[in-house]
Amino acid sequence: MTLPSHAQIVVIGGGIIGCSTAYHLARDHKADVLLIEQGALTSGSTWHAAGLVGQLRSSASITRVLKYSVELYKGLEAETGLATGWKMTGCLRLATNQDRWTEFRRLATTAGSFGMEMHLVSPEEVKRMWPLMNVDDLVGASWLPTDGQASPSDITQSLARGARMHGAKIVENVRVTGFEMKDGRITAVKTSKGDVSCEKVVNCAGQWARQVGDMAGINVPLQAVKHQYIITEKIDGLSTDAPTIRDPDRRTYFKEEVGGLVMGGYEPNPQPWLTGDLPNDWAFRLFDDDFDHFEQHMMQAMERVPALEKVGVKQMINGPESFTPDGNFILGVAPECKNMFVGAGFNAFGIASGGGAGWVLAQWVIDGEAPLDLWVVDIRRFAGMHRDRQWVCDRTLEAYGKHYTIAFPHEEYESGRPRLVSPLYERLKASGAVFGSKLGWERPNWFAPSGTEPKDIYSMGRQNWFAGVGTEHNHVRQAVGIFDQSSFSKYELTGPDALKALDWICANDVTRPVGRLTYSQLLNTRGGIEADLTVARLADETFYIVTGTGFRTHDFGWIADHIPDGLDCRLTDITEDWGTLSLMGPKARDVLAAVTSADVSNSAFPFGHVREIPIANTTVRALRVTYVGELGWELHIPIAALGEVYDALMAAGRPHDIRPIGYRALESLRLEKGYRAWSSDITPNDTPFEAGLGWAVKLKKNTDFLGRQALEATVGQPLKKRLMGFTVDDPNIVLAGRETILRNGEPVGYLTSGGYGYTLGKNIGYGYVRNPDGVSDDYLSSGSYELVVAAEKTPATIHFGPMVDPAMDKIKA
């Protein structure tokens, strides 16, 4: 086909992701789509993918995406006439130790929460289902009957034919060489066979996606890693419908293919390809066989399937796959360019993800916003540090090595640390801080008591920090603690039209006088919560915006993208310019009053206000706000003066027994008070009314704002879900989130977050209770509740408000 000179949407890359995206753009949206492939379809990593199709993930939305893939693959041949090789063989995951078995029991609960069928089976049942397997070391296995396998090349060709049937154009052997840009947007794609003007571009270039992004100034943080598997000769007694096998404790996987086995694995010492640009001519090419490196998998596999000792190897496949620094794939609109979308970095899950990823990415391209809560795969979860290719490589190799390790709660990555530290890092380390990492920032998770090694020891039960965090928690409730929250993302919006812009973007009313602050959600067109932040008005034309560490790129981008055209205002990221100390607890005012000449009484400095006050010869932005439910201030300090202000606060706080506090105590404190956490309790799938945050929405004001129309359409109608709190008395229970909520024995939802409330002495969880006919107070209070935790039911009590009564002096001045 001749390359056209114009297309509405240009998709770059003819692997499974590009073909699926083109197919859905053409089928669902009747878009004018051109797909460009530098070689032949499937010639990147698609053609040599192993083709296992699993569905269960820890995110409900991503599980839905993968379930969609299966449904698509089932019916695609009937539509296009091209077979996909889809076989619903089911999948067995094997457990050889109690920690793994606990993980599977939790996964079985998650599967039930997400509406997936998953069973826990005995070693004897595994042997019956897979007679050639040695099961002597098994504790048990999980069985997902709707998982399966497919032929990557066949699916891709079938999707490509479907795309053409719906009007998409596909041109092969055309290489993208650059882009024409204007005002931060792509206006044309430059290729080896001419230019194509366009409105939007979708970068599905696989392992070349980073290079394609570079041409437009866009960062796509991924790393090509060598991934090997073998295809054996025929094995006597192997059924053609044998389930696929994942044997994570031996780091291997198996699937039946033409009477033999495909076997590969995820080694702890993976081999990267190149940190620089990849050669463009790597089409249908592989690396040399590396049996020395593969031997670790071979030895483990032969112990699991003894028949492998006597069967020949027909072929070894050693090819590059795109992996990412956190093991999740990459979707969404690039923060650096308003009309380039990305679908790449699929971590060897491209075949399982392909159908669903193409579906949601196509919708995203058309609407300009994600159709589901896709935060865990959103390209805007990354930041400037992800432009460091060596750092990305190191972290990606660690993520690859963890592919089959046990997923302990609260486990931290170790590579590439420390990357970003506050000026207090050494002080906090000397106080016993055990650090975690968030978007590169080192942050104290907890403080090890004197004589205790400052180190996390992971387990599936209560971990070694549990008692220490309880001490910190209680200290904030009873005295005063100081949190280093310098990693907060911070922006300033300035200019004559700053207020007008924020009035449109924020769901709450920000038209308050100078010196006031506003807690607000930012909503999408569906009324879902895209961000959750604080806006402080410092001057008539200056607003200071504070949001979570991990949401830095996302929230900045959301605000910038939704400032109406023609307004005179400027958004600036000032995260590194300001440190943040949160001073919290009943004695916080006593400490603050001792270090400042400003009046910090309740009458002079009420809750919800911001003042510039002097501390230690520095002007500090003090925000009277709390995320722990106690009297307190966030003190935003010029970063160079952070240490001096910290020392002054610690000295003044000594008579009041001040101590530094970590993020794990912060989490337990906020759970007791019922404060919501974005990305878990509140997401783009949830409206403020469903989340119990309707009080922060300005519907009574005659002002239009983003998401208003969607919310108004629901006024007067019963809510079909509501976020509620739950407590569990059993001290042996550990809540981690995604546990199923049962009402009168029937599933009605799952927990979005869970933890322990030390003031209450109980486990706490939050989750949406769902009912198609409406979730009224009567419906909620009339039910009897249980939670399913690691496949076991436990009684639970439902709560309508904070677990611990508010103690802030806005109520008790």
Tokens of 430: 């000397």
Tokens of 736: 């981690």
Whole-angstrom distance, CA of residue 350 vs CA of residue 344: 9
Residue 809: per-residue pLDDT = 42
Distances (CA, A) of 600 to 45, 361, 544, 638, 649: 62, 50, 20, 20, 15
Residues 6+ apart with CB under 8 A from 688: 507, 521, 523, 527, 529, 694, 696, 697, 711
Confidence check: pLDDT of 653 > 90: yes
Confidence check: pLDDT of 807 > 90: no
Judging by DSSP bridges, how do beta strands 91-95 and 244-247 pair with one another?
Answer: parallel
Whole-angstrom distance, CA of residue 412 vs CA of residue 340: 32
Tokens of 477: 């409730």
Share of the chain above pLDDT 70, in %: 99
CB 309, CB 302: distance < 8 Å: yes
3-state helix, strand, coil in the chain (%, to 5): 30, 30, 40
Residue 348: per-residue pLDDT = 85
Residues 6+ apart with CB under 8 A from 630: 476, 477, 584, 585, 586, 588, 669, 807, 808
Residue intervals of the chain classified under CATH 3.30.9.10 are: 91-147+224-319
**252-256, 284-288, 457-461, 561-565: lowest mean pLDDT where?**
284-288
The superfamily CATH assigns to domain 91-147+224-319 is: D-Amino Acid Oxidase, subunit A, domain 2 (3.30.9.10)
> pLDDT tens-digit profile of 17-49?
999 999 999 999 999 999 999 999 999 888 888
Residue 51: per-residue pLDDT = 79
Average pLDDT, the chain: 95
Whole-angstrom distance, CA of residue 2 vs CA of residue 24: 23
Q: Which CATH architecture has domain 6-84+150-222+326-381?
A: 3-Layer(bba) Sandwich (3.50)
Whole-angstrom distance, CA of residue 174 vs CA of residue 171: 7
Exposure class string for 687-700: b at 16+ Cβ within 10 A, else e:
bbbbbbbeebbbee
Sort 537 into a burial class: Cβ within 10 Å, 0-12 / 13-18 / 19+.
buried
Confidence class for position 806, pLDDT limits 50, 70, 90: low
- Sequence letter at residue 528: G
Give me the residue label for tokens 């560490």: 549
Residue 238: per-residue pLDDT = 95
The pTM for the full model equals 0.96
Residue intervals of the chain classified under CATH 3.50.50.60 are: 6-84+150-222+326-381
Whole-angstrom distance, CA of residue 286 vs CA of residue 195: 31
Residue 85: per-residue pLDDT = 87
- The predicted model gives 142-169 an average pLDDT of 94
> pLDDT tens-digit profile of 446-495?
999 999 999 999 999 999 999 999 999 999 999 999 999 999 999 999 99
- The predicted model gives 696-722 an average pLDDT of 97
Q: Is 744 left (phi over 0), alpha (psi -120 to 50) or beta?
A: left
> pLDDT tens-digit profile of 505-530?
999 999 999 999 999 999 999 999 99
- The predicted model gives 662-689 an average pLDDT of 97
- The predicted model gives 91-114 an average pLDDT of 95
Residue 811: per-residue pLDDT = 33
> pLDDT tens-digit profile of 303-327?
999 999 999 999 999 999 999 999 9
> pLDDT tens-digit profile of 716-748?
999 999 999 999 999 899 999 999 999 999 999
Confidence check: pLDDT of 797 > 60: yes
Could you tell me which CATH number the domain at 578-656 has?
3.30.1360.120
Reduce the secondary structure of 660-702 to three states and give it as a string. ECCHHHHHHHHHHHCCCCECCCECCCCCCCCCCCHHHCCCCCC
> pLDDT tens-digit profile of 361-394?
999 999 999 999 999 999 999 999 999 999 999 9
Confidence check: pLDDT of 675 > 60: yes
Residue 58: per-residue pLDDT = 83
Determine the straight-line distance between the first and last CA of the chain, rounded to whole angstroms: 76
Residue 647: per-residue pLDDT = 98
Sign of CA dihedral 323, 329, 335, 338: positive
DSSP 8-state symbol, 516: B
> pLDDT tens-digit profile of 586-600?
999 999 999 999 999
Confidence check: pLDDT of 813 > 50: no
Residues 6+ apart with CB under 8 A from 592: 583, 600, 622, 633, 649
Confidence class for position 539, pLDDT limits 50, 70, 90: very high
Share of the chain above pLDDT 90, in %: 93
CB 248, CB 93: distance < 8 Å: yes
Confidence class for position 812, pLDDT limits 50, 70, 90: very low
Tokens of 387: 């432009």
Confidence check: pLDDT of 635 > 60: yes
Could you tell me which residues are beta bridge partners of residue 509?
none
